[in-house]
Chain A
Amino acid sequence: GQNIDQPTEMTATEGAIVQINCTYQTSGFNGLFWYQQHAGEAPTFLSYNVLDGLEEKGRFSSFLSRSKGYSYLLLKELQMKDSASYLCAVTPAAGNKLTFGGGTRVLVKP
């Protein structure tokens, strides 16, 4: 079976850093995606990790440890527009089936 866990909600201050953790237990693993979803909108792609290590894209970075079944998304220099849900998703094997976690709602306060 597939099990993906991430915190339900996090609050942070504008300009600060927030780290969203995601742990997974899946039968087979090919890669891990992070998506951002603003309320009432479609999810948008943020990052994709296949190998262990850190991938940096501007203010957003994503880390993966395959041996630990663990990933995090790091958001730096938070802006009000970063208030959204962040979805962790895993592809259990080569193919197109994505299994999503419940999402972490991040609230950025002034």
Chain B
Amino acid sequence: ETGVTQTPRHLVMGMTNKKSLKCEQHLGHNAMYWYKQSAKKPLELMFVYSLEERVENNSVPSRFSPECPNSSHLFLHLHTLQPEDSALYLCASSHLNREQFFGPGTRLTVL
């Protein structure tokens, strides 16, 4: 238990569905992150929010849309995904310039 929770833990969706991933941190951190982890590939940074402002968008397709309503919550809204988007999506949080604490991830399968 790292103080970062993610829901759902598993998600199966069709290419025409709309779904959202949720992340919540209980550590008082001021930065939050979304990562994608695919088999045989390095962990890829998708988005960074610092003090609730998006400071990094790592060339992610627009079918992924992040939202950070406050410093404790982070969402990733998904729509019209492709099968190649199937992966483990990890949320993390940190104080600025400090080590990141990861949530358990959401295993996403796009059919």
- B-binding residues in A (CB < 8 A): 4, 30, 33, 41-45, 48, 87, 89, 91, 94-103
Which of A4, A42, A99, A101 is within 8 Å of B90, CB to CB?
A42
Which of B2, B44, B55, B56 interacts with A44 by CB under 8 Å? B2
Q: Is the CB of A100 within 8 A of B43?
A: yes
Tell me whether B104 and A96 are in contact (CB under 8 A): no
Please tell me if the beta carbons of B103 and A96 are within 8 angstroms of each other in the complex.
Answer: no
Q: Is the CB of A87 within 8 A of B97?
A: no
Minimum distance in angstroms from A85 CB to a CB of chain B: 10
Question: Could you list some 15 contacts between A and B, CB below 8 A?
Answer: A42-B2, A42-B90, A42-B105, A43-B43, A44-B2, A45-B99, A45-B100, A48-B99, A95-B55, A96-B31, A96-B97, A96-B100, A98-B100, A102-B41, A102-B42
User: Cβ of A91: which chain B residues have Cβ within 8 Å of it?
Assistant: 97
Q: Give the shortest distance, in Å, between B94 (CB) and chain A (any CB).
A: 7
Residue numbers of B with Cβ under 8 A of A are 2, 4, 31, 33, 41-45, 48, 50, 55-56, 90, 94, 96-97, 99-105
Enumerate chain B residues within 8 angstroms of A102, measured Cβ to Cβ.
Answer: 41-42
Query: Nearest B residue to A89 by beta-carbon distance?
Result: B43
> Could you tell me the distance in whole angstroms from the C-beta of B107 to the nearest C-beta in chain A?
9
When C-beta atoms are compared, the residue in chain A nearest to B40 turns out to be A102
A contact residues around B96 at 8 Å (CB):
96
Residues in A whose Cβ lies below 8 Å from that of B45:
97-100
4 more contacts with CB within 8 A, not counting A45-B99, A45-B100, are A33-B100, A96-B100, A102-B42, A103-B42
A residues less than 8 Å from B56 (CB atoms): 96-97
Inter-subunit contact A94/B97 (CB<8 Å): yes
Residues of A within 8 A of B104 (CB): 41-42
Contacts of A95 in B (CB 8 A): 55, 97
**How far is it, in angstroms, between the C-alpha of A30 and the C-alpha of B98 when the chains are bound?**
11
Q: Which residues of A contact B103 (CB under 8 A)?
A: 42
